[in-house]
Amino acid sequence: MYGNYLDDAAKIVAEKREENLKFEHARLTAEQKDDLLLKFHPDRIKEQFTELKIGPNKGQKAPIELAEMLQAKPRLEPEKIDLNHIDYESDVLVIGGGGAGTSAAIMASEAGAKVLLVTKLRVGDANTMMAEGGIQAADKPNDSPAQHYLDAFGGGHFDGKPELVSTLVNKAPSVIKWLNDLGVEFDKMPDGTMVTTHGGGTSRKRMHACKDYSGAEIMRTLRDETFNRADQITVVDFTAAIEIIKNDKGEAAGAVLMNIETGEIRIAKAKVVIIATGGAGRMHYQGFPTSNHYGATADGLVMAYRAGAKLLYQDSLQYHPTGAAYPTQILGKLVTEKVRSLGAKLINKDGEVYIHPLETRDVNASGIIREVREGRGVHNDVQDAVWLDTPMIEMIHGEGTILKSIPAMYNMFIKYGIDIRKEPILVYPTLHYQNGGVEIDKTCHTNVANLLVAGEASGGVHGTNRLMGNSLLDVVVFGREAGIEAGKMFKNIKLSDKLSLQHVKDFEKERAAAKIEGDAVSPKILPTYHHGNPEFDKAIPGATL
């Protein structure tokens, strides 16, 4: 039991549970969805965005926090960097050790490339590891990539780049097979058939899962495969890339690296550079909590932007509707959409089912924000929220379903005395996914030669809203595509002897001309929760200054 004033609030939910279980809330019409998003979605709050004054996307809007990083002072002084002292040489440099980075490294090495994988934390310290619900693929007889395309394209408000959405859905079945062959333990029936379920916005059951540890299981497998290829893939961890290096032709040719423990600078030279740095949740846009891992600070967007790469939908973020809102210790932690796909419904303080639980994520997030703002939320001393009625799951599917299907959720809450089999949980939107990023084509090329981007750092795959299960799919599909493409490219590229950071100098001139002020330094590298303690900054060179 909650053991406080919330017990009474939870009793209202319990009293109406039988009635609510039978009640099916109608899906919202397109007009109702648009109205809800316009009034309550964080992306629609104009004062939370600003116009970019410099760079490839000059004149476009971006979240205030991201704009500050995109236009901030570079973390290095080009004149003080010795580009003639090369510490690492490789055919392919992969920046980022999550699902996209490891997939890229594996495929590039398979093509014979010598790969350097650099990650600012450890391989697997990534949003991929924290994804729970599953990975989509249309590989059942009643489904097809065409149907998956319609769901994904429509779910993204028809803003996705068609060639990227097409690549995503058509490569999905082969990606599931690849992961299965590598050893991912997908949920299966006794005869070996993969179990699939619905997600928000899906018209077919195509969600493949590993209980609610899906991302962790996929990341475990990709990490192990990366380490198994140690003869071709060199991993350098606790080292952040802080600037892309170009050659005299303006092509990407490596990166400046910084050891985040010592502040030591290293130079990596490569024929092809792949940015796979993931998301931006630790930027805490608009003060939202986040489900993201500690290193998700939009570094890839900053480096690519300074190098001249265009961004797409940089003003679009995904706020997952169900982040934990109580207790404090797990504020913002992801409550997987699988909980709702199993039958748990969203309930306001009056015990009412106010929306269908499997509307798309942006719609359900907006619905929760509306309930709270209009006084129908559940007040508590952590974060006003709504109920997610988890006991419904075992009323529908039988006793034992929660421990069998979503053990991570049970374990997350039981630590704090909340048994989700018997009690509802409090949820509120959490900053979850960076819908936009660096613009790419279907083989992950940017407008900067020899610079590829894959995974959450890219923009265009999901349009302006992502469906559940398409993120794990995205990182593996496009991580693989980037690695395959780099594996073709490196054979026709020579390592350059003329390395340059002239683009960084040019960027600083642009900053000066635009009269951009402030002491912000980018890339951010790590979030700051120490309120400006100079001793902390001194102790950790990579901390925000």
Task: Quote the CA–CA distance of 397 and 349 in Å, as a whole number.
Answer: 25
Task: Quote the CA–CA distance of 307 and 251 in Å, as a whole number.
Answer: 9
- Our answer to whether residue 432 is catalytic in this structure is no
DSSP 223: H
DSSP line for 481-501 = HHHHHHHHHGGG-PPPS-EE-
Mention every residue, 6+ apart, whose C-beta is less than 8 A from residue 253: 245, 246, 247, 269, 270, 271, 273, 450, 495, 496, 499
Task: Quote the CA–CA distance of 208 and 197 in Å, as a whole number.
Answer: 7
Task: Quote the CA–CA distance of 283 and 207 in Å, as a whole number.
Answer: 29
**How many CB atoms lie under 10 A from the CB of residue 227?**
12
Per the document, the length of the chain is 545
Mention every residue, 6+ apart, whose C-beta is less than 8 A from residue 397: 342, 343, 405
| The one catalytic residue among 41, 198, 320, 361 | 320
Angle between helices 162-182 and 214-228 (to 10 degrees): 70
Dihedral through CA 433, CA 435, CA 436, CA 441, nearest 10? 120
| The one catalytic residue among 340, 432, 462, 503 | 340
Task: Quote the CA–CA distance of 520 and 505 in Å, as a whole number.
Answer: 17
The answer to whether 485 and 453 have CB atoms below 8 angstroms apart is no
361 alpha-carbon distance from chain centroid: 14
Task: Quote the CA–CA distance of 305 and 241 in Å, as a whole number.
Answer: 14
Question: Cis ω on the peptide bond leading into residue 327 (within 30° of 0)?
Answer: yes
- Our answer to whether residue 320 is catalytic in this structure is yes
Alpha-carbon torsion (157, 158, 164, 166), positive or negative: positive
| Residue 268: closest CA among 149, 450, 117, 487 | 117
| Residue 130: closest CA among 295, 241, 375, 312 | 295
Backbone phi, then psi, for 151, in 5-degree steps?
A: -65, -50
Alpha-carbon torsion (459, 98, 168, 91), positive or negative: positive
Largest CA distance in the chain: 73
For the record, the structure tokens of 58 come out as 């000059």
Annotated catalytic sites, by residue? 320, 340
